[in-house]
């Protein structure tokens, strides 16, 4: 084998090794999501690409208002990205365009526009499950409208960290 062929094989081996490492990391540690809808506007716009981490989605890691990637209970063939509104054991009430948890009104400073009254109701979040809503609440298919409104912890895949594309929209989601 001549030296040129050896160099090509070494280069291909390096590229293949790098590709395998990247694939393993994105299968176990990271996630990229292309956002197909406007349900999270103005926080996340349609066609943004969001970078998420898979290692911080245990119950002790999840807090109200985190933005998570998950499998919705009514359609296990797709993934959604929405904001956590209700935590395990809480009672969520959606009434007159406002959201309350255990009787206290929640912050809605991040929503796109005042919420209409669609989806009004009282929801009791079971243990090991979460209640989700989109930031564009008037145009979001979320927990309020699913046959099974609660997402089990086992169906949560990742926590959104920042928008990576388009470059004009790059931003980080702040978590305390």
* pLDDT of residue 176 exceeding 90: no
SS3 readout for 65-129: CCEEEECCCCCCCCCEEEEEEECCCCEEEEECCEEEECCEECCCCCCCCCCCCCCCEEEECCCCE
Max CA distance (Å), the chain: 77
* pLDDT of residue 117 exceeding 90: no
- Give the span between the Cα atoms of 129 and 68, in whole angstroms: 13
Residue entry with tokens 């807090």 = 63
> CB of 66 within 8 A of CB of 159?
yes
Residue entry with tokens 């796109």 = 112
Quote the domain boundaries for residue 155: 3-172
Catalytic residue among 39, 52, 140, 143: 39
- Mean pLDDT for 74-86 is 95
Q: Is 39 part of the annotated catalytic residue set?
A: yes
CATH code for the domain in which residue 108 is found: 2.10.109.10
Give me the pLDDT at residue 170, please. 81
Catalytic residue among 6, 33, 38, 82: 82
Number of domains in the chain: 1
Note the pTM of the prediction, 2 decimals.
0.88
Residues 6+ apart with CB under 8 A from 148: 73, 74
- Mean pLDDT estimate for the chain: 93
- Mean pLDDT for 94-123 is 92
DSSP bridge partners of 31 = 52
């Amino acid at each position: 084998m001549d030296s040129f062929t050896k160099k090509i094989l070494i280069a291909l081996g390096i590229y293949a090794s790098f590709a395998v490492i990247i694939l393993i990391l994105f299968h176990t540690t990271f996630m990229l999501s292309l956002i197909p809808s406007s349900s999270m506007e103005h926080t996340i716009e349609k066609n943004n690409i969001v970078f998420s981490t898979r290692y911080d989605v245990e119950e002790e890691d999840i807090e109200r208002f985190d933005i998570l990637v998950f499998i919705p209970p009514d359609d296990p063939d797709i993934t959604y990205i929405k904001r956590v509104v209700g935590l395990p054991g809480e009672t969520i009430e959606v009434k007159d365009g406002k959201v309350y948890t255990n009787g206290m009104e929640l912050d809605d400073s991040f929503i796109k526009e005042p919420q209409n009254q669609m989806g009004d109701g009282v929801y009791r979040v079971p243990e090991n499950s979460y209640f989700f809503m989109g930031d564009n609440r008037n145009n979001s298919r979320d927990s309020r409208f699913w046959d099974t409104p609660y997402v089990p912890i086992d169906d949560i895949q990742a926590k959104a960290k920042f928008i990576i594309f388009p470059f004009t929209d790059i931003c980080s989601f702040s978590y305390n």
